[in-house]
Chains A and B, each alone.
Chain A
Amino acid sequence: MKHGSGSRRRAHAAEDLEEATGALLSQCMSAFHAFEELGELSEDMRILSLNAELAAGRAGRAGVAVRALTQYTRQLVGQLNRLRSDMDGLKSDTYGLSAAAMKALQELRLMHDAGAKAAAEQVIDQAAADDGRRAVDTAAQEAFQAAAERLHRMMAHADELGTHAKRIRQVAEQSAGISTNIAIEAAAAGPHEPEFRNVADTMKRYINGLRSMVDSADQAVNQAVETSRVLSVRLASARA
């Protein structure tokens, strides 16, 4: 009887883990979704920097500083592209891990259900029943290990996603610094002022887009971090 209630408790624990895994996947996907237009935005920034460089060339000595700033902008665009590529890999890996974790958790739940049902069964051969219970327990432990390994990797992915979001925010702030400097250069650029000012204003618009992506992602990442914390506690308690 004791074994049966233990199995039922473990079956519920497996269901709780499935629920938290589903929530973690959905929160990670929300964060990925927030950066869906990152590629387009970074391409817009790249084209803007090329146009600004041409304008700086036309401005001669008045455009020297702007030219340097636009080259720095292209380095930042390169960083954004690398981050986007990393996040694409992270996204497909997260999908794969969550599917594998869900499969292992479903297997775990069925093994625990089997344990609960075995405890309620009228036993005809006690030795056979004991052997069967041990085999089911072993299979459940293996399913748990498989699920836990995948869930830990998923949680690491959620952390990495947070790190990427922070790095994108840094790029946004560095870009904001560049656009301010271009605006300052514009004030002293005489006849080239309108062109440089237009570059600075357009860049500010892109930076606002970038900040808004990071704000949305941050919310999902924070939820994912909290879900990861809950998952860790549930995994530790299920292991015990």
Chain B
Amino acid sequence: MKCVELFRQGNHSWLAFGQDPAKPDAVIDTTQIVITSGGQSMLLDPGGSEIFPAMIAALTARLPIDSIQHMLLSHQDPDVGSSVGLWRRVCGDSLNVHASWMWTSFLAHFDGDGAFVPIPDEGSVVRLGGRDIHILPAHYLHSPGNFSVYDPVARILFSGDIGAALVPADKRRSFFVEDFSGHIGYMQGFHERWMPSAAARDAWVAMVSRLDIDMLAPQHGLIFRGDDVKRFLDWLMTVQIGSDLSSFEKAAQRSFRVVA
């Protein structure tokens, strides 16, 4: 699995892991983020069980396993956190796994042995090595209990599925978006279908627009940096969120008796 350093200032860093060339094609590509500060680390969206071996191998080549004190699951999907039980086995019971209060009992189906730290709807702040990491609401984008993560020191926003792109393996030359207009084609369908609420999109964009953001890192696809962050937010405001509704009429035509 590849790893790129997104930010480093003293003992404060962001690492992104992903684009594993050995990953089976059937498994969607995900980006895992590790924030480290003052010897403590926080793993954002650790990924599914299938990528656990590659992810822990790549992580422990760089960081001590016992530095991982916190883990965040941005929402409940299996590609986000079905590996949580495996991580708990290696990190021990002291690992704090943060997830929306809505999902904790659902996530117990991945890991019935361990407890979760429930995040309230308005989000929370995690103290990591003396610095504050802000967990921000991103509900309905796409899950009804969904969070983003912002680090005011690194000025990086981890956006979960917001900004996700289904980029073919042969088109991924780095971890970053290099051609924004070309990249839109990989995001458009995903956002139209996966994101259900234009009102939530508007509220989220209004909230994050008040932050200083140098990088916006989604869980799938490529990372936006510099001016591409604003380009992405502007583009997101134009997307016809929740607009792929053609299947209803197709089903009606296929299955329902015509009433004369």
A positions within 8 Å CB-CB of B: 106-107, 110-111, 113-114, 116-118, 120-125, 127-129, 131-133, 135-136, 138-139, 142-143
Determine whether the beta carbon of B52 is less than 8 Å from that of A132. Answer: no
CA distance in complex: A139, B65 (Å):
13
Contact across chains for B58 and A121 when beta carbons are under 8 A apart: yes
- 13 further A-B contacts with Cβ under 8 Å, apart from A111-B86, A114-B54, A132-B59, are A107-B85, A107-B86, A110-B86, A111-B53, A116-B53, A121-B60, A128-B64, A131-B60, A131-B65, A132-B57, A135-B66, A136-B60, A143-B89
Smallest CB-CB separation from B92: which chain A residue?
A135
CB atoms of A128 and B62 under 8 A apart: yes
**In the assembly, what is the distance between CA of A106 and CA of B48, in Å?**
13
Interface residue range, chain B? 20 to 34
Flag if A139 contacts B89 (CB, 8 Å).
yes
B90 lies within 8 A of chain A by Cβ: yes
CA A135 to CA B52, docked complex, whole Å: 14
Contact B64 A114 (CB under 8 A): no
User: Which residues from A are CB-within-8-Å of B53?
Assistant: 110-111, 113-114, 116-117
Query: What would be 28 A-B contacts, judged by CB atoms less than 8 Å apart?
Result: A107-B86, A111-B86, A111-B90, A114-B54, A117-B54, A117-B57, A117-B58, A118-B56, A118-B61, A121-B57, A121-B60, A121-B61, A122-B61, A123-B61, A125-B62, A125-B63, A127-B64, A128-B65, A131-B60, A131-B65, A131-B66, A132-B61, A135-B60, A135-B65, A135-B90, A136-B56, A138-B90, A139-B90
B89 touches A132 (CB 8 A): no
Smallest distance from the beta carbon of A21 to chain B beta carbons, Å?
A: 18
Is B91 close to A, CB under 8 A?
Answer: yes
Residues of B participating in the A interface, judged by any CB pair closer than 8 Å: 49, 52-54, 56-66, 85-86, 89-91
Chain B residues, Cβ within 8 Å of A124: 61-62
Residues of A with C-beta under 8 A to B61: 118, 121-125, 128-129, 132
Would you call A110 and B49 a contact (CB within 8 A)? yes
| A110 to B49 Cα, complex, angstroms | 8
Residue in A closest to B20 when the chains form the complex, CB atoms: A117
Q: Please judge, given known A-B contacts A128-B63, A128-B65, whether A114 and B89 are in contact too, CB under 8 Å.
A: no
B contact residues around A114 at 8 Å (CB): 52-54, 56-57
With a CB–CB cut-off of 8 A, which chain B residues contact A120?
57
For A122, the chain B residues whose CB sits under 8 A away are: 61
Q: Please name the residue on chain B nearest to A137 by beta carbon.
A: B90
Cβ B56 vs Cβ A132 within 8 A:
yes
Separation of A240 and B52 alpha carbons in the complex (Å): 25
Question: How distant is the Cα of A110 from the Cα of B52 in the complex, in angstroms?
Answer: 7
> 8 closest Cβ contacts across the A-B interface?
A132-B60, A113-B53, A117-B57, A114-B53, A139-B89, A118-B57, A121-B61, A128-B64
**Which B-chain residue is minimally distant from A106 (CB atoms)?**
B49
Closest to B49 in A: A110
**Which residue in chain B gives the minimum CB-CB distance to A109?**
B53
A132 & B54 in contact (Cβ 8 Å cutoff): no
CB distance from A49 to the nearest CB of B (A): 49
A4 CB to nearest B CB, Å:
10
Cα distance A9–B85 in the bound complex, in angstroms: 24
A residues in contact with B65, CB < 8 Å? 128, 131-132, 135
Residues of B within 8 A of A107 (CB): 85-86, 89
Question: How many angstroms from the CA of A122 to the CA of B54 in the assembled complex?
Answer: 12
Distance (whole angstroms) from the CB of A5 to the closest CB of chain B = 15
Chain A proximity of B67: nearest CB distance (Å) = 8
* B173 CB to nearest chain A CB (Å): 20
State A121–B63 Cα separation when bound (angstroms).
13
A133 proximity list for chain B (CB < 8 A): 60
Residues of B with C-beta under 8 A to A117: 53-54, 56-58
**B52, B56, B59, B64 pick with most chain A CB within 10 angstroms:** B56
Q: Give the CA-CA distance A119 to B152 in the complex, in Å.
A: 36
* Chain A residues near B62 (CB-CB < 8 A): 124-125, 128
Residue of A nearest to B67 (CB): A128
Using CB atoms, name the residue of chain B closest to A128. B64
Q: Given the complex, which residues of A lie within 8 Å of B89, measured CB to CB?
A: 107, 111, 139, 142-143
* Most chain A CB within a 10 A radius of its CB, from B57, B86, B91: B57
Q: How far is the CA of A51 from the CA of B59 in the complex (A)?
A: 75
| Residue of B53, B54, B65, B91 contacting most chain A CB atoms (<10 Å) | B53
